[in-house]
Amino acid sequence: MYEKVPHAGGVLRNYVAGEFVASNRLFANINPVDGSEINRVAEADAATVDAAVKAARRALHGDWGQMAPAVRCQLLHRVADGIEARFEEFVAAEMADTGKSFHQARSIDIPRGAANFRIFADMIKSQSSECFQTPTDDGRGALNYAVNKPLGVVAVIAPWNLPLLLLTWKLAPALAAGNTVIAKPSEETPATATLLAEVMHAAGVPAGVFNLVHGFGPNSAGEFLTTHPGVDAVTFTGESKTGSAIMRAAADGVKALSFELGGKNAGIIFDDCDFDEAVNGTARSVFTNGGQVCLCTERLYVQRPIFDKFVAALKAKAQAINIGWPLDENTDMGPLISHKHRDKVVSYFASAKAEGATVVTGGGVPVFGDARDNGAFVEPTIFTGLPEHARIVKEEVFGPVCHITPFDTEAQAVAMANDSHYGLAATVWTTNLPRAHRVAQQLEVGIAWVNTWYLRDLRTPFGGVKLSGVGREGGVHSLNFYSEPTNICIKL
């Protein structure tokens, strides 16, 4: 069924200094729908990563560094055109690697991959810089102005949940700001990054500006990159523990870091909410992409007068989710990314049950009676009845699961939502406008949505507090991270 997947049965190669490079170390790229092998991937060794870093440095000092921003922007638009021209191949590759639904790959992942290039290409043209007139004792004054330069050679390390979307979310502003890049996609999802290298090549992006290395984290391409003295900055999305490991690896070189890490996002549902909207929005926020989005909601706090009605309505939504073949247009949810990840999610189901949770729905692995039984599926799951210190209420699961707790007062809901080591996103559902502002402003998160979830404006600050990250992405926040201002002070 995946015969249209580019490179099916072949080998995905690294892309270094404008050439596709093989390796004698190959690893298997597995389809999580049925456990079959899609293709093999050339793992970059330390020498390949070193060659990529050197190529990136040469490009920075060469054509790319000299290129007028307007020409750079045209090239980035050509890359977006290239993604769109091969749209169906990108969709097929993303679906095969992740098992995500046809609808999601077509409506979110691949369009955002192209949009990321367009928005940052356009934004760089209007990037502003600071200017100050400074008084001096002689009365003549001085003029200060800052010029933005690229940070240098940037390592982009991406996860598997939104592979093209998250890779390009970092790559596009880095390139727009004039940097050169070595990208490392997750070992679970190497395909769309490889197609992107083909698109870059065809678009005429100069050799060394974009390099791609495949491999794992520790003792593989990820670690070789983050410890490489020629890398000036690391931008990473993934698990908080991996963020800590990268921070330690980058410490020796005092590299600039931008991290978007895990979450344990709360949804607060007040009894004055628009009930249907709150149920529909919450269902989306819990189950989209099988719960494998850092912004997904895993803890729900529902005001007591509507608690039972809300739990019943969310249960009905969960049970209506069509789990199955990603290529089937009726499928809402595919498998999790891998058997390893499914084992982790299922272990959280077991720990919730062992701690005395009430299983509202799900809590197991579906049985299909066909090849999907070799895949990494789990049931959409809802628990209630656990105390706030239970593991499933505290730790990031990254699956289609939530725990629901009742609350009585606004203050209680805010306190429980903030009682977390994470602080990425939260949702608030209420029709009381002053309360919406009051609660949203008290939440210890980087992103608070009111009466919606995952409504994205790519110009807004995006990132988390506490264990959820360092810095902000989006709009000027991305461009500022990837730029190094030099202040010039002129005595008049």
Ligand X SMILES: O=C(O)/C=C/C=C(\O)C(=O)O
Ligand Y SMILES: NC(=O)C1=CN([C@@H]2O[C@H](COP(=O)(O)OP(=O)(O)OC[C@H]3O[C@@H](n4cnc5c(N)ncnc54)[C@H](O)[C@@H]3O)[C@@H](O)[C@H]2O)C=CC1
Interface ranges with ligand X (CB under 6 A): 159, 161-162, 166, 169, 237, 260, 293-295, 456
Task: For ligand X, give the closer residue by CB, 41 or 166.
Answer: 166
Of these partners, ligand X, ligand Y, none, which one is at the site of residue 295 (CB under 5 to 8 Å by kind)? ligand X
400 sits near ligand Y (criterion: CB under 6 A)? no
Q: What binding mask, one character per residue, do residues 112-151 give for ligand Y by CB under 6 A, x or -?
A: ----------------------------------------
* Sequence-ordered strand ranges (E) for 105-206: 131-134, 142-150, 153-157, 180-184
CA–CA separation, 37 and 296 (whole Å): 29
Task: For ligand X, give the closer residue by CB, 64 or 169.
Answer: 169
The β-bridge relationship of strands 425-429 and 447-450 is parallel
Q: List the structure tokens of 286.
A: 């819990």
Residue type, 387: P
Contacts of 109 (CB under 8 A, 6+ apart): 91, 94, 100, 162, 163, 164, 165
262 sits near ligand Y (criterion: CB under 6 A)? yes
CA–CA separation, 188 and 162 (whole Å): 11
Nearest-approach distance from CB 1 to ligand X, in angstroms:
27
Beta-carbon count within 10 A of 364 CB: 11
Three-state DSSP state, 93: helix
Beta bridge partners of 210: 181
Nearest-approach distance from CB 201 to ligand Y, in angstroms:
22
* Sequence-ordered strand ranges (E) for 124-241: 131-134, 142-150, 153-157, 180-184, 210-212, 233-237
Q: What binding mask, one character per residue, do residues 304-333 give for ligand Y by CB under 6 A, x or -?
A: ------------------------------
Q: What is the CA radius of gyration of the chain?
A: 23
User: Is position 396 annotated as part of the catalytic site?
Assistant: no
Task: For ligand X, give the closer residue by CB, 124 or 295.
Answer: 295
Binding segment for ligand Y (CB under 6 A), chosen from 51-59, 88-96, 153-161, 386-394, is 153-161
CA–CA separation, 156 and 482 (whole Å): 12
Contacting ligand Y (CB under 6 A), which of 60, 212, 246, 302?
246
Residue environment code for 13-38, b if the CB has 16+ CB neighbours within 10 A, otherwise e: bbbbbbebbebeeebebbbbbbbeeb
Task: For ligand X, give the closer residue by CB, 225 or 293.
Answer: 293
Total site size for ligand Y, rule CB under 6 A: 27
Of these partners, ligand X, ligand Y, none, which one is at the site of residue 245 (CB under 5 to 8 Å by kind)? ligand Y
238 sits near ligand Y (criterion: CB under 6 A)? yes
Task: For ligand X, give the closer residue by CB, 186 or 237.
Answer: 237
439 sits near ligand Y (criterion: CB under 6 A)? no
Residue type, 383: F
Tokens 């706090």, residue located: 301
DSSP string, 314-379: HHHHHHT--BS-TTSTT--B---S-HHHHHHHHHHHHHHHHTT-EEEE--S----SSGGGGS----
Of these partners, ligand Y, ligand X, none, which one is at the site of residue 5 (CB under 5 to 8 Å by kind)? none
Nearest-approach distance from CB 36 to ligand Y, in angstroms:
20
Residues 175 to 234 in contact with ligand Y, rule: CB under 6 A: 184, 186-187, 216-218, 222-223, 226
Using CB atoms, what's the residue nearest to ligand Y? 217
| Selection from 227, 292, 278 nearest residue 428 by Cα | 278
Residue type, 327: L
User: Catalytic residue among 187, 188, 223, 260, which?
Assistant: 260
Nearest-approach distance from CB 187 to ligand Y, in angstroms:
5
Beta-carbon count within 10 A of 122 CB: 13
Nearest-approach distance from CB 52 to ligand Y, in angstroms:
14
Task: For ligand X, give the closer residue by CB, 237 or 282.
Answer: 237
CA–CA separation, 242 and 130 (whole Å): 35
Which DSSP state fits 454? S
CA–CA separation, 52 and 171 (whole Å): 15
Nearest-approach distance from CB 175 to ligand X, in angstroms:
17
Of these partners, ligand Y, ligand X, none, which one is at the site of residue 388 (CB under 5 to 8 Å by kind)? none
245 sits near ligand Y (criterion: CB under 6 A)? yes
* Chain residues that interact with ligand Y, rule: CB under 6 A: 157-161, 184, 186-187, 216-218, 222-223, 226, 237-239, 242, 245-246, 261-262, 294, 341, 344, 396, 398
Q: Which residues are catalytic?
A: 260
